[in-house]
Structure 1
Amino acid sequence: MAQEQVTPLAAWVKELEEELTRVAGDRDAFWSRAEEATTSSKALTGQLGAEQGAHLLAKGALAEALKCEAELEKEASRAVEASRVEVEGWKEKAEASRVETQHWKEKAEASRVEAQRWEEKTEELEKEVTRVAEASIAVQVVLEAEIGEHDALKSAARTVCEALERALAVISSHYAGIDLKAISDGYVLLDDDKEADKEVAKLMESAEGPGTALAKLFEEEVVPPPPSADAGDLEP
């Protein structure tokens, strides 16, 4: 853009130089006329009466030529100064244009850096979202496993409770008037811990065989049957 602005200025300076050349030619022409007038005045010096008038005339012509030359020099000086001011103005405009261009380049670079920074942040967020999603899936798997274990424990506890209820019912059927509430309070043992442990061991040993037989008896009633092959396809 600065080059486009300087090109008209160069053409104008060239025109000004041509004008100065023309003015210099006119000045030389005036000098030539002045010299001719001087020569004429010298030639007429010897003439009677008219020599003085011719000399004065030549002197006036020379003075006029010098006056014109001074005016032309002043005009040329004004033109040169105007040209210098104009050139300076175009230089300032070109510098302002260069500064503006540099400013926009800096803004474009800043925008590019900002866009790069946001792109990196976006990539980081996407990675973080992926990590969170993977962690969420892992937590969901663990949670489902714990829920399954909890349900299994609840089912086992429910099975044990049902077995105990059936065992107490069997005992009641063998011993009329037995105090089931007292049985639910636990063992009736001595205060000595060692003796109590020995007594519990004896009771467990004596109850092992009958307990196994009773458990087999209750197995089909208390323990739920295993799921069939198509059970996983059924809606809960």
Structure 2
Amino acid sequence: MGVMATIMIIEDDQTISHLIASELTRWQHQPVLVQNFSQVFQEFEAAAPQLVLMDINLPVYDGYYWMQQIRATSKVPVIFISSRNTNMDMVMAMNMGGDDFVSKPFAMEVLLAKINALLRRTYHYAEPASATLSHNGLTLDLRTGQGAVGTTTIDLSKNEYQLLQILMRHHGAVVSRNHLLRELWTDARFVDDNTLTVNINRLRKKIEAAGLPDYIQTKIGQGYLVP
């Protein structure tokens, strides 16, 4: 699967920018982080990204300033990310040429959905190759969230889809129960460990019914494995 898009993250909070970057990498995008906040435009030109995530509160100059610089030469889609979520800020962001606005704190799924929708709209991404994961006879469609074994379709719940996607991306490696709990439920403390077992068992049954027994293996005391 090739990299889908180069996405520049103009955000000075390192925790947030690194979180976004690792999530983008998981979705096969190529994140670029700003190194020098007084040279944002030069770095933008050098990176030539297909999409920009722009914080409003930045050191040196604010996001609106850099937006003006970018819009003077480029129509690249820009999503503003800000803790300043007044209507005035949203209006200003759109008037400056922003394409979308996300308020902090935001859910990563929401940001990713906006990014992928904007990329599709802007570049008419068909994503034929990059929109599926395939391994050992099972194909997962990342657009519809459905699995397939040959011509047999597997309807998955949101959690089953997430679990299968993580296990397929890590195929050949054991994924710990803790990792899966953290990935699926933002606050794993409130999730009964049994919930994971139930979801895995349901997922197994669905894959088996489609003709692939033993697709997910349990490693006692370690976690789960798609070999």
Shorter-chain TM-score: which interval?
A: under 0.3
Q: Which has the higher contact order (CA 8 A, sep 6+)?
A: 1
Given the two structures, how large is their TM-score scaled by the length of structure 2? 0.17
| Bigger fraction of residues in strand | 2
Given the two structures, how large is their TM-score scaled by the length of structure 1? 0.16
